[in-house]
Protein backbone atom coordinates (compact mmCIF):
# COMPACT_ATOMS: atom_id res chain seq x y z
CA UNK A 1 0.00 0.00 0.00
CA UNK A 2 1.50 3.32 -0.99
CA UNK A 3 1.24 6.50 1.04
CA UNK A 4 -0.23 9.72 -0.26
CA UNK A 5 1.89 11.86 -2.58
CA UNK A 6 3.69 14.60 -0.69
CA UNK A 7 4.71 18.06 -1.81
CA UNK A 8 5.98 21.33 -0.49
CA UNK A 9 8.26 24.33 -0.91
CA UNK A 10 11.73 24.69 0.54
CA UNK A 11 13.44 28.09 0.71
CA UNK A 12 17.21 27.91 0.61
CA UNK A 13 18.79 30.81 2.50
CA UNK A 14 22.30 31.69 3.51
CA UNK A 15 24.79 34.43 2.97
CA UNK A 16 26.50 34.66 -0.43
CA UNK A 17 28.96 31.93 -1.45
CA UNK A 18 28.00 29.30 1.11
CA UNK A 19 27.03 27.02 -1.79
CA UNK A 20 23.25 27.38 -2.19
CA UNK A 21 23.34 27.22 -5.98
CA UNK A 22 25.81 24.34 -5.94
CA UNK A 23 23.50 22.41 -3.65
CA UNK A 24 20.52 23.06 -5.89
CA UNK A 25 22.45 21.91 -8.92
CA UNK A 26 23.68 18.82 -7.11
CA UNK A 27 20.11 17.84 -6.31
CA UNK A 28 18.44 18.70 -9.54
CA UNK A 29 21.32 17.62 -11.74
CA UNK A 30 21.05 20.43 -14.26
CA UNK A 31 22.69 23.78 -14.43
CA UNK A 32 19.74 25.96 -13.49
CA UNK A 33 20.97 28.06 -10.58
CA UNK A 34 23.94 30.16 -11.50
CA UNK A 35 27.22 29.61 -9.73
CA UNK A 36 30.02 32.08 -9.44
CA UNK A 37 32.70 32.76 -6.86
CA UNK A 38 31.30 36.31 -6.70
CA UNK A 39 28.61 37.23 -4.25
CA UNK A 40 25.01 37.86 -5.24
CA UNK A 41 24.95 36.12 -8.56
CA UNK A 42 21.44 34.86 -8.06
CA UNK A 43 19.10 37.81 -8.22
CA UNK A 44 15.77 36.29 -8.95
CA UNK A 45 14.00 33.53 -7.17
CA UNK A 46 14.94 30.34 -8.99
CA UNK A 47 12.95 27.21 -8.40
CA UNK A 48 14.46 23.80 -8.80
CA UNK A 49 11.95 20.96 -8.79
CA UNK A 50 12.75 17.55 -7.34
CA UNK A 51 10.22 14.81 -8.11
CA UNK A 52 10.09 11.14 -7.11
CA UNK A 53 7.26 8.58 -6.83
CA UNK A 54 6.96 9.66 -3.22
CA UNK A 55 6.55 13.36 -3.70
CA UNK A 56 7.74 16.68 -5.04
CA UNK A 57 9.94 19.33 -3.45
CA UNK A 58 9.99 22.76 -5.04
CA UNK A 59 13.12 24.69 -4.12
CA UNK A 60 13.26 28.43 -3.92
CA UNK A 61 16.82 29.67 -4.27
CA UNK A 62 16.86 33.07 -2.60
CA UNK A 63 19.32 35.86 -3.23
CA UNK A 64 21.77 36.46 -0.40
CA UNK A 65 19.99 38.09 2.49
CA UNK A 66 21.78 41.30 3.31
CA UNK A 67 21.20 44.94 4.14
CA UNK A 68 19.94 46.78 1.03
CA UNK A 69 22.29 49.37 -0.45
CA UNK A 70 20.34 50.51 -3.50
CA UNK A 71 17.20 49.75 -5.48
CA UNK A 72 18.51 46.37 -6.53
CA UNK A 73 19.48 45.38 -2.98
CA UNK A 74 16.02 46.34 -1.82
CA UNK A 75 14.42 44.17 -4.48
CA UNK A 76 16.61 41.26 -3.50
CA UNK A 77 15.70 41.50 0.15
CA UNK A 78 11.97 41.61 -0.57
CA UNK A 79 12.34 38.52 -2.74
CA UNK A 80 14.14 36.67 0.03
CA UNK A 81 11.57 37.74 2.61
CA UNK A 82 8.58 36.54 0.64
CA UNK A 83 10.31 33.22 0.01
CA UNK A 84 10.66 32.68 3.78
CA UNK A 85 6.94 33.04 4.35
CA UNK A 86 5.81 31.04 1.31
CA UNK A 87 7.96 28.08 2.22
CA UNK A 88 6.97 24.94 4.14
CA UNK A 89 10.56 24.56 5.26
CA UNK A 90 13.75 26.62 5.24
CA UNK A 91 17.24 25.28 4.69
CA UNK A 92 19.72 27.68 6.27
CA UNK A 93 23.04 26.97 4.58
CA UNK A 94 26.29 27.91 6.30
CA UNK A 95 29.94 27.42 5.51
CA UNK A 96 31.80 24.69 7.44
CA UNK A 97 35.20 26.22 6.79
CA UNK A 98 34.40 29.64 8.23
CA UNK A 99 33.27 30.59 11.74
CA UNK A 100 29.76 32.01 12.19
CA UNK A 101 29.91 35.66 11.14
CA UNK A 102 27.87 38.84 11.03
CA UNK A 103 26.20 37.76 7.79
CA UNK A 104 25.02 34.52 9.40
CA UNK A 105 23.79 36.30 12.53
CA UNK A 106 21.82 38.77 10.43
CA UNK A 107 19.98 35.85 8.83
CA UNK A 108 19.50 34.02 12.14
CA UNK A 109 17.78 37.10 13.52
CA UNK A 110 15.41 37.17 10.56
CA UNK A 111 14.74 33.42 10.85
CA UNK A 112 13.71 33.84 14.48
CA UNK A 113 10.69 35.83 13.25
CA UNK A 114 9.39 33.06 10.96
CA UNK A 115 7.21 30.11 12.00
CA UNK A 116 8.55 27.87 9.22
CA UNK A 117 10.80 25.00 10.47
CA UNK A 118 14.49 25.62 9.77
CA UNK A 119 17.09 22.99 8.90
CA UNK A 120 20.69 23.96 9.52
CA UNK A 121 22.76 22.78 6.53
CA UNK A 122 26.50 22.93 7.23
CA UNK A 123 28.02 22.84 3.75
CA UNK A 124 31.56 22.28 2.45
CA UNK A 125 32.44 19.64 5.05
CA UNK A 126 34.90 18.32 2.45
CA UNK A 127 37.08 21.30 3.42
CA UNK A 128 37.28 20.57 7.17
CA UNK A 129 38.22 17.78 9.60
CA UNK A 130 35.24 15.82 11.00
CA UNK A 131 36.04 16.90 14.56
CA UNK A 132 35.64 20.55 13.58
CA UNK A 133 31.96 20.07 12.79
CA UNK A 134 30.64 19.25 16.28
CA UNK A 135 31.70 22.52 17.97
CA UNK A 136 30.22 24.36 15.02
CA UNK A 137 26.88 22.60 15.50
CA UNK A 138 26.91 23.50 19.19
CA UNK A 139 27.68 27.11 18.36
CA UNK A 140 24.75 27.42 15.93
CA UNK A 141 22.36 25.53 18.22
CA UNK A 142 23.08 28.08 20.93
CA UNK A 143 21.69 30.79 18.63
CA UNK A 144 18.31 29.28 17.75
CA UNK A 145 16.30 26.05 17.50
CA UNK A 146 16.79 24.00 14.36
CA UNK A 147 14.35 21.25 13.32
CA UNK A 148 17.26 19.22 11.89
CA UNK A 149 21.00 19.65 11.36
CA UNK A 150 22.84 18.21 8.34
CA UNK A 151 26.56 18.48 7.65
CA UNK A 152 26.90 18.03 3.88
CA UNK A 153 29.10 18.67 0.89
CA UNK A 154 27.18 20.11 -2.04
CA UNK A 155 30.29 19.59 -4.15
CA UNK A 156 30.80 15.87 -3.51
CA UNK A 157 27.14 15.12 -2.75
CA UNK A 158 28.06 13.77 0.70
CA UNK A 159 24.92 13.44 2.91
CA UNK A 160 22.79 15.37 0.40
CA UNK A 161 20.46 12.42 -0.17
CA UNK A 162 19.81 12.10 3.58
CA UNK A 163 18.91 15.77 3.66
CA UNK A 164 16.46 15.35 0.79
CA UNK A 165 14.96 12.15 2.24
CA UNK A 166 14.30 13.71 5.64
CA UNK A 167 12.81 16.76 3.98
CA UNK A 168 10.52 14.62 1.84
CA UNK A 169 9.48 12.59 4.91
CA UNK A 170 8.38 15.73 6.69
CA UNK A 171 6.38 17.15 3.80
CA UNK A 172 2.61 16.90 4.04
CA UNK A 173 0.36 15.21 1.50
CA UNK A 174 -0.11 17.55 -1.44
CA UNK A 175 -0.49 17.86 -5.18
CA UNK A 176 2.22 17.43 -7.78
CA UNK A 177 2.63 21.08 -8.77
CA UNK A 178 4.79 20.47 -11.83
CA UNK A 179 5.22 17.67 -14.39
CA UNK A 180 7.97 15.28 -13.31
CA UNK A 181 10.27 16.14 -16.20
CA UNK A 182 10.25 19.82 -15.34
CA UNK A 183 13.22 21.06 -13.35
CA UNK A 184 12.48 24.78 -13.20
CA UNK A 185 9.46 26.99 -13.79
CA UNK A 186 11.55 29.84 -15.09
CA UNK A 187 11.30 30.51 -18.77
CA UNK A 188 14.38 29.42 -20.69
CA UNK A 189 14.82 33.07 -21.58
CA UNK A 190 15.69 33.90 -17.99
CA UNK A 191 18.11 31.01 -17.65
CA UNK A 192 19.86 31.99 -20.88
CA UNK A 193 20.28 35.56 -19.60
CA UNK A 194 21.68 34.26 -16.32
CA UNK A 195 24.17 31.99 -18.11
CA UNK A 196 25.47 34.93 -20.13
CA UNK A 197 25.68 37.12 -17.03
CA UNK A 198 27.57 34.37 -15.23
CA UNK A 199 30.22 34.34 -17.97
CA UNK A 200 30.58 38.13 -17.82
CA UNK A 201 31.18 37.97 -14.05
CA UNK A 202 33.57 35.04 -14.32
CA UNK A 203 35.68 36.51 -17.11
CA UNK A 204 35.83 40.18 -16.14
CA UNK A 205 36.47 39.64 -12.41
CA UNK A 206 36.75 42.92 -10.45
CA UNK A 207 36.46 45.26 -13.45
CA UNK A 208 32.77 44.78 -14.07
CA UNK A 209 30.91 44.64 -10.78
CA UNK A 210 27.27 43.79 -10.26
CA UNK A 211 26.12 46.67 -12.43
CA UNK A 212 25.55 44.28 -15.28
CA UNK A 213 22.26 42.93 -16.58
CA UNK A 214 21.49 40.74 -19.55
CA UNK A 215 18.35 40.97 -21.65
CA UNK A 216 17.35 38.35 -24.22
CA UNK A 217 16.04 40.40 -27.15
CA UNK A 218 14.89 37.62 -29.43
CA UNK A 219 14.92 33.87 -29.96
CA UNK A 220 14.25 32.46 -33.40
CA UNK A 221 14.55 29.03 -34.98
CA UNK A 222 16.50 29.21 -38.24
CA UNK A 223 15.97 27.10 -41.34
CA UNK A 224 19.07 25.02 -40.46
CA UNK A 225 17.46 24.18 -37.07
CA UNK A 226 19.93 26.39 -35.21
CA UNK A 227 18.42 28.63 -32.55
CA UNK A 228 19.31 32.28 -33.11
CA UNK A 229 19.48 34.12 -29.78
CA UNK A 230 20.05 37.87 -29.61
CA UNK A 231 21.01 39.30 -26.23
CA UNK A 232 22.12 42.64 -24.82
CA UNK A 233 24.56 43.07 -21.94
CA UNK A 234 23.69 46.27 -20.07
CA UNK A 235 26.40 48.11 -18.11
CA UNK A 236 26.55 51.45 -16.31
CA UNK A 237 29.71 53.03 -17.72
CA UNK A 238 31.43 53.25 -21.12
CA UNK A 239 34.64 51.94 -19.50
CA UNK A 240 32.79 48.76 -18.55
CA UNK A 241 31.51 48.41 -22.09
CA UNK A 242 35.11 48.58 -23.34
CA UNK A 243 36.18 45.87 -20.90
CA UNK A 244 33.35 43.58 -21.95
CA UNK A 245 34.13 44.02 -25.63
CA UNK A 246 37.86 43.59 -25.02
CA UNK A 247 40.79 44.07 -27.34
CA UNK A 248 39.59 43.53 -30.89
CA UNK A 249 36.39 42.01 -29.50
CA UNK A 250 38.28 39.17 -27.80
CA UNK A 251 36.42 39.35 -24.49
CA UNK A 252 32.90 39.39 -25.89
CA UNK A 253 33.86 36.55 -28.16
CA UNK A 254 34.98 34.45 -25.20
CA UNK A 255 31.85 35.33 -23.21
CA UNK A 256 29.74 34.34 -26.19
CA UNK A 257 31.53 31.05 -26.79
CA UNK A 258 31.24 29.92 -23.18
CA UNK A 259 27.62 31.03 -22.80
CA UNK A 260 26.66 29.39 -26.10
CA UNK A 261 28.04 26.04 -24.97
CA UNK A 262 26.01 26.14 -21.75
CA UNK A 263 22.87 27.23 -23.57
CA UNK A 264 23.29 24.45 -26.12
CA UNK A 265 23.61 21.93 -23.31
CA UNK A 266 20.54 23.36 -21.60
CA UNK A 267 18.34 23.34 -24.68
CA UNK A 268 19.81 20.35 -26.51
CA UNK A 269 20.02 22.43 -29.66
CA UNK A 270 22.69 24.17 -31.71
CA UNK A 271 22.68 27.88 -30.94
CA UNK A 272 23.89 31.00 -32.74
CA UNK A 273 24.39 33.57 -29.99
CA UNK A 274 24.57 37.23 -30.96
CA UNK A 275 25.69 39.56 -28.15
CA UNK A 276 25.37 43.34 -27.92
CA UNK A 277 26.59 45.72 -25.22
CA UNK A 278 24.69 48.81 -24.09
CA UNK A 279 25.54 51.53 -21.55
CA UNK A 280 22.75 52.74 -19.29
CA UNK A 281 23.80 55.02 -16.47
CA UNK A 282 22.80 53.95 -12.94
CA UNK A 283 20.16 51.45 -14.07
CA UNK A 284 20.12 49.83 -10.65
CA UNK A 285 18.51 52.91 -9.10
CA UNK A 286 15.83 53.31 -11.77
CA UNK A 287 12.64 51.42 -10.99
CA UNK A 288 11.70 51.29 -14.66
CA UNK A 289 15.04 49.86 -15.73
CA UNK A 290 14.89 47.31 -12.92
CA UNK A 291 11.51 46.23 -14.16
CA UNK A 292 12.46 45.98 -17.80
CA UNK A 293 15.47 43.80 -16.89
CA UNK A 294 13.20 41.42 -15.03
CA UNK A 295 13.93 42.44 -11.45
CA UNK A 296 10.36 43.10 -10.39
CA UNK A 297 8.07 41.51 -7.85
P1 LIG B 1 25.84 30.68 -3.31
O2 LIG B 1 26.25 32.11 -3.42
O3 LIG B 1 25.43 30.37 -1.90
O4 LIG B 1 24.82 30.26 -4.30
O5 LIG B 1 27.17 29.83 -3.54
P6 LIG B 1 27.65 29.04 -4.85
O7 LIG B 1 26.83 27.80 -5.04
O8 LIG B 1 27.74 29.99 -5.98
O9 LIG B 1 29.10 28.56 -4.37
C10 LIG B 1 30.11 29.49 -4.02
C11 LIG B 1 31.46 28.82 -4.14
O12 LIG B 1 31.60 27.74 -3.19
C13 LIG B 1 31.68 28.18 -5.51
O14 LIG B 1 33.02 28.40 -5.87
C15 LIG B 1 31.41 26.69 -5.26
O16 LIG B 1 32.10 25.86 -6.15
C17 LIG B 1 31.92 26.52 -3.85
N18 LIG B 1 31.24 25.41 -3.14
C19 LIG B 1 29.92 25.21 -3.01
N20 LIG B 1 29.65 24.08 -2.31
C21 LIG B 1 30.84 23.55 -1.98
C22 LIG B 1 31.23 22.35 -1.24
O23 LIG B 1 30.43 21.56 -0.75
N24 LIG B 1 32.57 22.17 -1.10
C25 LIG B 1 33.50 23.01 -1.61
N26 LIG B 1 34.78 22.73 -1.42
N27 LIG B 1 33.16 24.12 -2.32
C28 LIG B 1 31.86 24.39 -2.50
MG1 LIG C 1 23.74 31.38 -5.69
K1 LIG D 1 27.32 33.02 -5.70
- Pocket of ligand 1 contains residue 16 by CB under 6 Å: yes
Encode pLDDT of 139-148 as tens digits.
999 999 999 9
pLDDT of residue 28: 78
36 C-alpha to ligand 2 centroid (Å): 7
**Residue 18: which residues within 8 A CB-CB, separation 6 or more?**
93, 94, 95, 123, 124
- Pocket of ligand 1 contains residue 153 by CB under 6 Å: yes
**Residue 148: which residues within 8 A CB-CB, separation 6 or more?**
119, 120, 166
- Pocket of ligand 1 contains residue 95 by CB under 6 Å: no
Per DSSP bridges, beta strands 213-221 and 227-235 are antiparallel
Second CATH level (architecture) for the domain 6-170: 3-Layer(aba) Sandwich (3.40)
Residue 74: pLDDT band (50, 70, 90) is low
- Pocket of ligand 1 contains residue 127 by CB under 6 Å: yes
Residue 38: pLDDT band (50, 70, 90) is very low
Contact (CB, 8 A) for 22 and 35:
yes
Ligand 1 pocket, mutate which of 12, 33, 35, 63 (most atoms under 8 A from CB): 35
- Domain limits, CATH 3.30.300.20, in the chain: 188-292
Second CATH level (architecture) for the domain 188-292: 2-Layer Sandwich (3.30)
Contact (CB, 8 A) for 25 and 192:
no
- Domain limits, CATH 3.40.50.300, in the chain: 6-170
Radius of gyration of the chain (CA): 20
As a whole number, mean pLDDT of residues 260-267 equals 85
Q: What percent of the chain has pLDDT over 90?
A: 41
- Pocket of ligand 1 contains residue 48 by CB under 6 Å: no
Q: Determine the Cα–Cα distance for residues 149 and 125; give it in Å rounded to an integer.
A: 13
Encode pLDDT of 194-227 as tens digits.
889 989 988 987 777 666 888 888 777 777 778 8
Amino acid sequence: MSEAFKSGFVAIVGRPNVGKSTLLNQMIGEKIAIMSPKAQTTRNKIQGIYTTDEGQIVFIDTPGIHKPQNGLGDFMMKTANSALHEADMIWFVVNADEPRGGGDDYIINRLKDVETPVYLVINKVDLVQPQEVLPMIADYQAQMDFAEIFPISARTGDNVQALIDTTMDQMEAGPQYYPEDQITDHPERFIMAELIREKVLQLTRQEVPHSVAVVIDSIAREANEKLHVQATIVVERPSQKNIIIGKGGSMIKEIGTRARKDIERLLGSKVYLELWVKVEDRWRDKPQALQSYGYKE
